């Protein structure tokens, strides 16, 4: 069993090329998953790869290095469309979790209740996956394949999350709403992220709305997004309707029933849109 | 890398720990908590869950709070780490630590290090934080004792804390808000909990547990397994138990095996225990043991267990029935005939997990022909007796030394780890330790009984209660534990503190293949109060009577008989509690009405009230306590205090009482607590009995010593006593008599004088109809809840809770408030979020308890209707504080919206369904179009 903590990406990818490793970053999923069992895997601790940490402009968009923590996201100067992601960042676990857990790790863990997924779906995020012989970029929606299943190959690691500058110009708003049975340290019953671009007349130029914890992978509500386009932002909340939730496939679990989740999701969508329009959440 | 690849190569890791450089050489993937605690001996950082769910292990890594249980130690290289041990420079507490003591922010103390570290990080950036900022900073650290309010106050006040520590004058200790006497080690990290104390080189024990609710099992070749794994020493099974392979808190109902034989009766039941050297045990995966399981049909609810053909759990208990209880008084049928209005309802509550932040832990060692068990416990003498029976030893061959207890709430009354470490240490003649994992603790230890209750209550046109008929069926799990106690206590208490024309309450405790239901703060009364108190509001509404007035009309008073026919001539302070709430009630109802009128589309505001009573001590059974206080030849004063302090404050309360009884200041006392070799039996810490029962014994011990001293000088009781290193001085009327200590004969332990007090509260047996005097005293109280209901999501926002409690006499109001606030927080959990589902929520992220953000402002109104027996009039408060919270919340929800929630917890989905039933939140059916 090995423990590697390389300082260059090249070393890390070389290690992955030789054998599969458990990739350890924030550790907030790695250790709970281990429970009381001994850790009998080769471990690649990537936290020495300083170049992978931070949020920066990159080409026509933004790049979140794979070691960017939730606290880094909260502290970063970012345009308003990232407000939903920042909102999610403040509600991931606790301050203790946010200080070490990475956004990329949240995606790689691929929980249906991953707080980062709805806002990043609404940002049209892509993920950069690197291996020794090259790099590929996948839309987040393609990367996430199911409950705890992703497109990550054994010899790959996520190196960045890429956010394109693809919103129409003009005013942009975004918001995140998480519903749980208590205030802190809570896995959501349902959550919603909304990103909207508004033209000079106050009409929605583009809307992106996603819902988490209501399907194995969080989903964009494309039918709702289409219905919202061109409509006054002030009317957006009223346009959201039960039929727009049809693509969700929530389940019953210890937190809530499927039926409740479906209803709550609609209400949360309305609140997120209402907040974007300047109302209260 | 070792040749076989089975272990990871150790590497040196250098970092700064509390300002000093350290280097450890270890497997770099080990959790930082393990290295701090096991390798560096820094046990101030606690482990509550190993999953980031509780925050007890919060440390500062380069100044930022992180959970040390999820940090690989290899990552520390070159970094700066701060732990609780580094807070007190040169042993001087910092302001935050002092604020924690001043405000009573540390109860059991297990979460305190994590709280201090998280709060310290906040204060470093924001010296004068708002409440919201404090909550955000502390949201990741769970506390099960305090209800968070005193922690929040302490953090907000820390930067400007003055240096004046409250002191109590001689003779005025009782009633003073002094800081807890055992607080210092709780804020420095020096307190030793179950997992913090084992001798160097102890063997480690881990228990093999059933993965199924019911299973047959074959243990396979355990000897071969041990032989094939260097460092493992032995696997213990039922065949290794030299005495009785059974234990139970009620001796004649003992039915729980140390190791199951043949088949297991619940998921989490022990079948074997592996013992080995620490390193080998850390590398062991329990799943590798050669145990084969065969799942068998199981019954998980009373309905299943009572169904025809259901498998019987215990041969001697037909119909899976552990017991039935009954209290009846008056003619029930006539009572209902006399009623102008009758309401009825069906209620249910689920398993509630105690969720103390300290999982069970401790060690044992063999000392010649005796065994010593050092572990967290609420009941050292009961532990002693059962460990003796299991090992086949006389009772006096067993010594129980309680560690600091990181929360108990009833579950640490039962044996858990004790038999396993005791067996290992006894058979192998080496110290053996164990620390339960969080999932193991949750799966295997006792729970609050799930309840299914039907109740029917009638009142006449004037609002007087004419009749109540109650039936509570309780899921008592696989073993008896405290099931009979719950079954007996509920019928006595299901009435609440009210007067009825006629009353019948029946209980039925039913075995299932679930974890044993046992004692949990209130012994079934919180469940019954939910039914009774919410039906009262429905009845008051039918009658057109204000809910608080309805309770006042029917409230038990001095001279009126309880449902068991008991009459108290004095000390029934329930009406005082309700009257104390009245101005708050009128203010709150007016504010809610105004808010609802002003914001018709906003959240619905509501106000609810609920009352309670709770008998202190065992139900119609003896439960004596004995305390001793002595003077040594060197003038030191020692209180032998066996009432285990699990955070509630008995170390402090017993001393305050004894100080005034004796006439000396609190700071003169040294304490010896809870060691069965040293302290007399002060009973168990449960049933809200310690302040009342042991407190009275402490009072009597103090009075006894005082009388002995006064006799030496023929002084009257008005004399003042002083004890110095040389002499006892007794002053009266301007003259002082001096008794040189050297002139007094010292006993073998060095004591020249010893006072002793024993108190056993007078009760009488209940007859076949449950009539009699079950308790010597009851505590009374009422809670008022203000909240807002989000009618579209079904979420509840608590605004304020006002708690009025008749405590007879508040020995230490700061500690009493701490009990109230902690009880309220657990009541909030019961009402809104907590439900343990066996096999599904054995962790602290699926099982939710309130966080710092979930407990609103709490105002405590202390009523002091003195009890004639209690020390200085005091009654118990521990369990009282939890009971009325949940029904008050449900009543407030109903007041706000008309929604009736009868099945707890009132999670958002449950509330939304009730709102719809009440005509709220128009149903929008997805048309899938």
- pLDDT tens readout for residues B302-352: 999 999 999 999 999 999 999 999 999 999 999 999 999 999 999 999 999
Partner-chain contact B852 A183, CB within 8 Å: yes
Is B236 within 8 Å of B420 (Cβ atoms)?
yes
Asked if the Cβ–Cβ distance from A97 to B1 is below 8 Å, we say no
B224 confidence band (pLDDT: 50, 70, 90): very high
Contact A269, A194 (CB under 8 A): yes
Q: How many residues does chain B have?
A: 929
Instruction: Find the mean pLDDT for residues B462-472.
Output: 98
Identify which of B58, B284, B909 has the shortest CB distance to residue A260.
B909
Instruction: Give yes or no for residue B772 having a pLDDT over 80.
Output: yes
Encoding tokens for residue B389?
């029976």
Q: Which residue has the tokens 């439960």?
A: B623
Name the β-bridge partners of B821.
none
For the record, the structure tokens of B575 come out as 């009406």
pTM for the model stands at 0.97
Question: In angstroms, how far is the first alpha carbon of chain B from the final one?
Answer: 61
Percentage above 70 pLDDT, chain A? 99
Give the pLDDT score at B674. 87
Q: Which residue of B has its CA nearest to A31?
A: B70
Contacts of B67 in chain A (CB under 8 A): 28, 96-97, 100
- Please indicate whether, in this complex, the C-beta atoms of B137 and A242 are within 8 angstroms of each other: no
Structure letter (DSSP) for residue B99: H
A1–B909 CB contact, under 8 Å = no
- Beta-carbon separation of A32 and B52 below 8 A: yes
- Please list every residue in chain A whose beta carbon sits closer than 8 Å to the beta carbon of residue B840: 254
The pLDDT confidence band at residue B163, using thresholds 50, 70 and 90, is: confident
Question: Which residue is it, tokens 């010899």?
Answer: A155
For residue A94, give the nearest of B71, B139, B833 by CB distance: B139
A36·B8 Cβ contact <8 A = no
Which among A38, A39, A99 is the nearest to B64, CB-wise? A99
Q: Which residues of A touch B29 (CB under 8 A)?
A: 3, 24, 39, 43, 45
Given an 8 Å threshold on Cβ–Cβ distance, is A95 in contact with B136?
A: yes
Of all helices (H) and strands (E), which one includes residue B176?
Answer: none
Predicted confidence at residue B828, as pLDDT, reads 98
* Averaged pLDDT for residues B226-254: 97
Contact between B904 and B350 under an 8 Å Cβ cutoff? The reply is yes
> Cβ of B926 and A243 within 8 Å?
yes
Confidence category of residue B926, pLDDT binned at 50, 70, 90: very low
Contact residues on chain B for A96, CB-CB shorter than 8 A: 52, 55, 58, 65-67, 118, 140
Mean pLDDT, rounded, for B560-588: 98
Q: Give the confidence band of B6 by pLDDT, cuts at 50, 70, 90.
A: low
Which residue is catalytic, options B360, B821, B834, B879? Answer: B879
Shortest CA distance to A82 belongs to which of A50, A119, A132?
Answer: A119
Q: What is the count of residue pairs from A and B with beta carbons less than 8 Å apart?
A: 184
CB A36 within 8 A of CB B50: yes
DSSP A52: G
Is B702:B660 a contact under the CB 8 Å cutoff? yes
Q: What is the mean pLDDT of residues B598-626?
A: 96
pLDDT for the residue numbered A281: 44
Residues of B in contact with A111 (CB under 8 A): none
CB-based burial, B293-324: b 16+ in 10 Å, e otherwise: eeeeebbbbbebbbeeebeebeeebeebbbbe
B334 catalytic residue (yes or no): no
Element spanning B133, H or E:
helix B131-138
Contact between chains at B70 and A32 (C-beta distance less than 8 A): yes
Distance CA B697, CA B691 (A): 9
Kindly provide the residue ranges of all beta strands, DSSP E only, lying in B481-593, ordered along the sequence. 502-511
Query: Is B854 in Cβ contact with A264 (below 8 Å)?
Result: no
User: Of B858, B855, B908, B905, which is closest to residue B139 (Cα–Cα)?
Assistant: B855
Q: Do the Cβ atoms of B688 and B779 come closer than 8 Å? A: yes
Instruction: List strands edge to edge, sheet with A61-65.
Output: A55-57, A61-65, A157-164, A126-131, A134-139
Q: Where are the alpha helices (DSSP H) in chain A?
A: 9-18, 30-34, 70-75, 83-91, 95-100, 103-109, 117-122, 140-143, 222-228, 236-239, 258-276
Nearest CA in chain B to A245: B926
Please provide the average confidence, as pLDDT, over all residues in chain B: 96
Which of A95, A178, A269 to mutate to probe the B interface, most B CBs <10 Å?
A: A95
> Is B651 in contact with B402 (CB distance < 8 Å)?
no
Q: Which of A40, A96, A246 sits opposite B55 (nearest CB)?
A: A96
The CA distance from B714 to B722, in Å, is 15
Distance between the two ends of chain A, CA-based, in angstroms? Answer: 50
Measured CA to CA, the distance from residue B862 to residue B811 in angstroms comes to: 11
Q: Tell me the per-residue pLDDT of A142-159, one tens digit each, with 9 for 90 and over.
A: 999 999 999 999 999 999
The burial class, CB within 10 Å (0-12 / 13-18 / 19+), for B837 is middle
Residues of B in contact with A183 (CB under 8 A): 135, 139, 851-854
What are the tens digits of pLDDT across the range B683-710? 999 989 999 999 999 999 999 999 999 9
- Out of B1, B283, B909, name the one closest to residue A2 (CB): B1
Cβ A243–B11 below 8 Å, yes or no?
no
Residue A23: closest C-alpha in chain B: B29
**Residue A179 is nearest to which of B65, B287, B793, comparing CB atoms?**
B793
Q: Which of A27, A35, A95 is closest, CB to CB, to B72?
A: A27
DSSP state string for B198-255 = PPTT-EEEEEEE-SSSSEEEE---HHHHHHHSTTEEEEE-GGG-SS-S-B-SSGGG--
- Which among A94, A105, A178, A240 is the top mutation candidate for probing chain B, defined by the most B β-carbons within 10 Å of its own β-carbon? A94
**Closest chain A CA to residue B58:** A96
Q: What is the mean pLDDT of residues B209-230?
A: 97
Q: Which of B1, B139, B924 sits opposite A183 (nearest CB)?
A: B139
Please give, rounded to a whole number of angstroms, the shortest distance from the CA of B274 to a CA of chain A. 14
Instruction: Tell me whether residues B908 and A181 touch, CB distance under 8 A.
Output: yes
Contact B924 A266 (CB under 8 A): yes
Residue B47 has pLDDT above 70, yes or no: yes
Q: What is the dihedral of CA A233, A234, A237, A238, to 10 degrees?
A: -120
- Give the start-end residues of each E strand in B27-172: 58-61, 64-67, 80-82
User: CA-based diameter of chain B, in Å?
Assistant: 98
Position B8 scores a pLDDT of 87
Nearest to B486 by CA among B515, B442, B512, B520: B520
Please say whether the dihedral angle defined by the alpha carbons of residues B493, B496, B497 and B501, taken in this order, is positive or negative: negative
Rounded-to-integer distance, Cα B295 and Cα B217, Å: 9
* Beta bridge mates, B796: B789
Coil vs helix vs strand at B76: helix
Distance CA B85, CA B37 (A): 12
Residues of B in contact with A1 (CB under 8 A): 1, 5-8
β-strand partners of B641: B673
| Cα–Cα dist A259/A262, whole Å | 5
Question: Do B96 and B154 meet the contact criterion of CB atoms below 8 Å apart?
Answer: yes
| Cα nearest neighbour of A97 on chain B | B66
Q: What average pLDDT does range B849-855 have in this prediction?
A: 98
User: Taking residues B230-236, what's their average pLDDT?
Assistant: 98
Q: Average of pLDDT values for B651-672?
A: 98
| B217 pLDDT above the threshold of 60 | yes
Q: Following CA atoms B536, B538, B544, B550 in sequence, which dihedral angle do they give, to the nearest 10 degrees?
A: 10
Residue with token string 């949020």: A55
- The reported pLDDT for the residue numbered B713 is 92
Number of helices followed by number of strands (H, E) in chain B:
22, 31
- Distance from the Cα of B178 to chain A's closest Cα (Å) equals 32
Residues 6+ apart with CB under 8 A from B41: none
Would you list the DSSP string of B666-683? GGGEEEEES-TTTS----
Q: Searching chain A, which residue's CA lies closest to the CA of residue B71?
A: A27
CB contact under 8 A, B907 and A256: yes
The complex scores an ipTM of 0.97
How much is the pLDDT for B164? 85
* Long-range contacts formed by B331-335: CB under 8 A, 24+ apart: B331/B502, B332/B467, B332/B469, B332/B502, B332/B503, B332/B504, B334/B467, B334/B501, B334/B502, B335/B458, B335/B466, B335/B467, B335/B468, B335/B500, B335/B501, B335/B502, B335/B503
**Three-state DSSP class for residue B538:** helix
Which pLDDT tens digit goes with each residue over B743-756? 999 999 999 999 99
Mutate which of B31, B52, B77, B143 to test chain A, going by most A C-beta atoms within 10 A?
B52
For tokens 């503190």, what's the residue? B497
Is pLDDT at B659 greater than 80 in this prediction?
yes
Cis omega (within 30 of 0) for bond into B905: yes
The predicted pLDDT at position B922 comes to 60
CB–CB contact B70 A26 (8 Å): yes
pLDDT tier, B2 (very low <50, low <70, confident <90, very high otherwise): very low
At B243-284, the pLDDT tens digits run 999 999 999 999 999 999 999 999 999 999 999 999 999 999
| pLDDT tens per residue, range B376-430 | 999 999 999 999 999 999 999 999 999 999 999 999 999 999 999 999 999 999 9
* A1 confidence band (pLDDT: 50, 70, 90): confident
Q: Sort out which chain A residues have CB atoms less than 8 A from B835's CB and list them.
A: 254
pLDDT for res B899: 98
Spatial CB neighbours of B247, under 8 Å, sequence gap ≥ 6: B254, B256, B258, B386, B389, B390, B415, B419
Query: Under a CB-based contact definition with an 8 Å cutoff, are residues B380 and B675 in contact?
Result: yes
Reference B258, options B279, B244, B277; nearest CA is: B244
Give the closest residue to B645 by CA, choosing from B668, B678, B680, B674.
B674
């Amino acid at each position: 069993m090995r423990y590697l903590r390389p300082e260059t990406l090249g070393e890390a990818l070389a290690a992955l090329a030789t054998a599969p490793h458990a990739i350890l970053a924030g550790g907030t999923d790695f250790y709970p998953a281990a429970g009381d069992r001994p850790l009998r895997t080769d471990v690649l601790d990537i936290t020495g790869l300083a170049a992978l940490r931070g949020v920066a402009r990159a080409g026509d968009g933004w790049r979140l290095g794979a070691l960017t923590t939730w606290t880094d996201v909260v502290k970063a100067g970012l345009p308003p469309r990232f407000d939903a992601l920042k909102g999610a960042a403040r509600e991931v676990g606790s301050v203790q979790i946010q200080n070490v857990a990475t956004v990329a790790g949240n995606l790689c863990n691929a929980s249906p209740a991953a707080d980062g997924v709805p806002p990043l779906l609404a940002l049209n995020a892509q993920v950069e996956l690197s291996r020794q012989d090259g790099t590929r970029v996948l839309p987040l929606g393609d990367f996430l394949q199911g409950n705890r299943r992703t497109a990550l190959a054994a010899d790959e690691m996520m190196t960045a999350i890429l956010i394109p500058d693809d919103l129409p110009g003009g005013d942009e708003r975004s918001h995140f709403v998480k519903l749980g049975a208590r205030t802190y340290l809570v896995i959501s019953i349902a959550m919603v992220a909304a990103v909207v671009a508004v033209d000079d007349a106050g009409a929605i130029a583009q809307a992106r709305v996603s819902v988490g914890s209501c399907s194995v992978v969080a989903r964009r509500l494309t039918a709702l997004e289409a219905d919202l386009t061109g409509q006054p932002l002030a009317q957006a909340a009223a346009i959201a309707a039960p039929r727009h939730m049809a693509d969700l496939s929530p389940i019953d679990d210890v937190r809530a029933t499927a039926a409740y989740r479906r209803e709550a999701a609609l209400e949360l969508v309305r609140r997120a849109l209402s907040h974007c329009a300047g109302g209260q959440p | 890398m070792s040749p076989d690849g089975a272990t990871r190569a150790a590497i040196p890791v250098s970092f700064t720990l509390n300002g000093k450089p350290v280097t450890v050489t270890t497997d770099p993937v080990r959790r930082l908590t393990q290295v701090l605690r096991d390798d560096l001996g820094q046990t101030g950082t606690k482990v509550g869950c190993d999953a980031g769910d509780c925050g007890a292990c919060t440390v500062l890594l380069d100044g930022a709070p992180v959970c040390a249980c999820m940090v690989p130690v290899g990552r520390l290289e070159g970094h700066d780490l701060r732990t609780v041990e580094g807070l007190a420079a040169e042993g001087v507490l910092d302001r935050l630590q002092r604020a924690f003591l001043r405000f009573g922010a540390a109860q059991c103390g297990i979460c305190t290090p994590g709280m201090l570290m998280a709060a310290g990080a906040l204060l470093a950036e924001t010296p004068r934080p708002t409440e919201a900022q404090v909550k955000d900073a502390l949201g990741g650290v769970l506390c099960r004792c305090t209800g968070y309010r005193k922690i929040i106050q302490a953090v907000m006040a820390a930067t400007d804390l003055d240096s004046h520590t409250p002191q109590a004058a001689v003779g005025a200790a009782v009633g003073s808000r002094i800081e807890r006497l055992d607080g210092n080690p709780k804020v420095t990290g020096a307190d030793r909990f179950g997992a913090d104390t084992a001798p160097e080189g102890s063997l480690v024990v881990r228990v093999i547990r059933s993965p199924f609710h019911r299973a047959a099992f074959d243990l396979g070749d355990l000897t071969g397994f041990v032989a094939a794994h260097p460092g493992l020493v032995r696997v213990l099974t039922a065949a290794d138990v030299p005495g009785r392979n059974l234990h139970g808190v009620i001796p004649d109902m003992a039915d729980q095996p140390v190791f199951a034989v043949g088949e297991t009766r619940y998921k989490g039941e022990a079948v074997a225990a592996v013992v080995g050297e620490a390193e080998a045990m850390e590398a062991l995966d329990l799943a590798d043991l050669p145990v084969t399981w065969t799942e068998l049909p199981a019954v998980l609810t009373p309905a299943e267990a009572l169904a025809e053909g259901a498998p019987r759990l215990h041969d001697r208990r037909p119909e899976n029935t552990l017991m039935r209880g009954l209290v009846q008084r008056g003619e029930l049928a006539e009572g209902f005939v006399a009623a102008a209005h009758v309401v009825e309802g069906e209620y249910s509550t689920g398993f509630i997990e105690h969720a103390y932040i300290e999982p069970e832990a401790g060690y044992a060692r063999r000392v010649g022909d005796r065994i010593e068990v050092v572990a967290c416990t609420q009941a050292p003498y009961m532990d002693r007796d059962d460990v003796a029976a299991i090992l086949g030893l006389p009772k006096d061959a067993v010594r129980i030394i309680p560690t600091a207890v990181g929360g108990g709430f009833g579950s640490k009354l039962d044996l858990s780890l004790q038999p396993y470490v005791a067996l290992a240490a006894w058979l192998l003649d080496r110290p053996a330790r164990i620390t339960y994992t969080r999932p193991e603790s949750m799966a295997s230890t006792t729970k609050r009984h799930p309840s299914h209750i039907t109740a029917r209550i009638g009142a006449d046109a004037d609002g007087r209660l004419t009749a109540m008929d109650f039936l509570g069926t309780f899921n008592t799990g696989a073993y008896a534990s405290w099931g009979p106690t719950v079954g007996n206590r509920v019928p006595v208490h299901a009435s609440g503190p009210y007067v009825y024309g006629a009353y019948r309450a029946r209980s039925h405790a039913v075995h299932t293949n679930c974890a044993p239901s046992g004692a949990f703060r209130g012994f079934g009364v919180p469940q019954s109060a939910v039914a009774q108190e919410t039906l009262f509001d429905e009845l008051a509404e039918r009658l057109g009577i204000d809910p608080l007035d309805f309770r006042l009309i029917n409230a038990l008073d001095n001279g009126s008989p309880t449902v068991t026919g008991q009459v108290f001539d004095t000390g029934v302070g329930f009406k005082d509690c309700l009257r104390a709430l009245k101005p708050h009630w009128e203010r709150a109802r007016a504010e809610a009405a105004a808010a609802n009128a002003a914001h018709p589309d906003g959240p619905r505001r509501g106000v609810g009230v609920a009352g309670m009573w709770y008998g202190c001590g065992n139900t119609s059974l003896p439960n004596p306590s004995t305390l001793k206080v002595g003077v040594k030849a060197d003038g030191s004063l020692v209180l032998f205090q066996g009432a285990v302090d699990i955070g509630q404050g008995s170390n402090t309360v017993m001393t305050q009482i004894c100080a005034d009884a004796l006439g000396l200041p609190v700071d003169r006392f040294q304490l010896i607590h809870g060691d069965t070799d040293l302290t007399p039996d002060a009973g168990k810490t449960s049933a809200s009995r310690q302040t009342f029962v042991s407190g009275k014994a402490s009072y009597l011990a103090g009075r006894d010593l005082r009388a002995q001293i006064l006799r030496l000088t023929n002084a009257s009781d008005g004399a003042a006593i002083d004890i110095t290193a040389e002499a006892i001085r007794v002053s009266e009327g301007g003259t002082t008599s001096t008794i040189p200590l050297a002139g007094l004969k010292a006993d073998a332990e060095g004591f020249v004088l010893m006072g002793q007090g024993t108190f056993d509260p007078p009760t009488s047996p209940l007859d076949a109809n449950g009539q009699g005097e079950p308790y010597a005293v009851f505590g009374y109280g009422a809670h008022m809840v203000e909240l807002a209901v989000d009618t579209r999501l079904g979420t509840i926002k608590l605004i304020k809770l006002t708690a009025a409690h008749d405590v007879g006499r508040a020995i230490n109001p700061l500690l009493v408030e701490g009990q109230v606030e902690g009880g309220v927080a657990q009541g909030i959990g019961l009402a809104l979020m907590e439900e343990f589902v066996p096999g599904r929520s054995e962790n602290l992220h699926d099982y939710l308890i309130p966080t710092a953000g979930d407990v609103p402002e709490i105002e405590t109104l202390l009523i002091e209707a003195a009890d004639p027996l209690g020390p200085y009039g005091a009654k118990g408060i521990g369990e009282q504080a939890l009971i009325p919270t949940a029904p008050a919340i449900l009543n407030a929800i109903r007041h706000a919206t008309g929604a009736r929630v009868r099945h707890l917890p009132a999670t958002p989905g449950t509330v939304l369904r009730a709102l719809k039933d009440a005509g709220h939140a128009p149903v929008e059916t997805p048309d899938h179009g």
